[in-house]
Amino acid sequence: MKTIQEIQADIVDEFSVFTDWMDKYEYLIDLGKSMPLIDEKDKTESNLIRGCQSRVWLSCREEGGRLYFAADSDAIITKGIISLLLKVYDGQTPEDILAADEGFIEQIGLKENLSPTRANGLVSMIQTIKAHAAAWRGSKPQPETPAAPKTDLESDIILALRQVYDPEIPVNIYDLGLIYDIQADADGQVFIRMTLTAPNCPIADDVVAQVREAVSDVPGVKDVQVDLVFEPEWTTDRMSEEAKLELGML
């Protein structure tokens, strides 16, 4: 079996043949399709990686002193990112995983081409993999996961918002970047500030009503207030990588 350093060097070489990031995204997507997927029964709350914009599940088992991972995500780019990490760490010893650095990520330009939230998710994935390694090295069955920057309620709200689609562009409103702010308190009071792609949208009220209904159905939500604004003006820069990819903009 190759060492972590050898695998990282191979990845740098593989990425060096691509001339633009569209090709690199396609490579990541292909990696995601071929990685060992987590068993459906293991898609549990405890296996969710905290701090990721999308849901990412990661399981870990030890065999013969080495750690073997399986994962899945509900977003194609995120699935590709975690598969890239598993390509490096799957089948390695806890000691080697903990000793490894992630310089190859900078070399292939991955982090700089991710949105800030997705870059934070990448860090959370690495932290969780290393937390598993630290736990197994200490003979503990379960690692401590990194602290979540969002509450579970906020994460569930985001999942609900991803079920609401823009009336003109076939992308959900969250990945489209139409949600400017989400605030949820411990009493289940939720405030959402959002916009639309155009201020003269004839069904603006219907979209707001869909948002209010979707979020109201989230367990733990007691009341939802939606503030529709048009400043700052929405631009395509607010779209996620998945949305841009789906619309052929990458």
- Catalytic residue (choose from 35, 48, 49, 52): 52
Residue type at 226 in one-letter notation: V
pLDDT for 119 equals: 78
Cα(7)–Cα(244) distance, integer angstroms? 30
Is CATH 1.20.1440.130 the right assignment for the domain spanning 4-137? no
pLDDT for 138 equals: 58
pLDDT for 8 equals: 94
Is CATH 3.30.300.130 the right assignment for the domain spanning 152-246? yes
Decide: residue 40, CB within 10 A, 0-12 exposed, 13-18 middle, 19+ buried. exposed
pLDDT for 217 equals: 93
Helix axes 76-89, 21-34, angle to 10 degrees: 70
pTM for this prediction: 0.59
- CATH topology of 4-137 equal to that of 152-246? no
- Active-site residue flag, 201: no
Q: Parse the chain into domains and list their residue ranges.
A: 4-137, 152-246
- pLDDT by residue for the chain (250 residues), tens only, comes to 899 999 999 999 999 988 888 888 888 888 888 887 888 888 888 888 876 767 899 999 999 899 999 999 988 888 999 999 999 999 999 999 999 988 898 899 887 777 777 777 888 899 899 989 888 875 444 444 454 445 678 888 998 998 999 888 888 899 889 999 999 888 899 999 999 988 888 888 999 999 999 999 999 999 999 999 888 888 888 888 777 877 777 6
For residue 58, count other CB atoms closer than 10 A to its CB. Answer: 23
Of 225, 228, 177, nearest in space to 199 by CA? 228
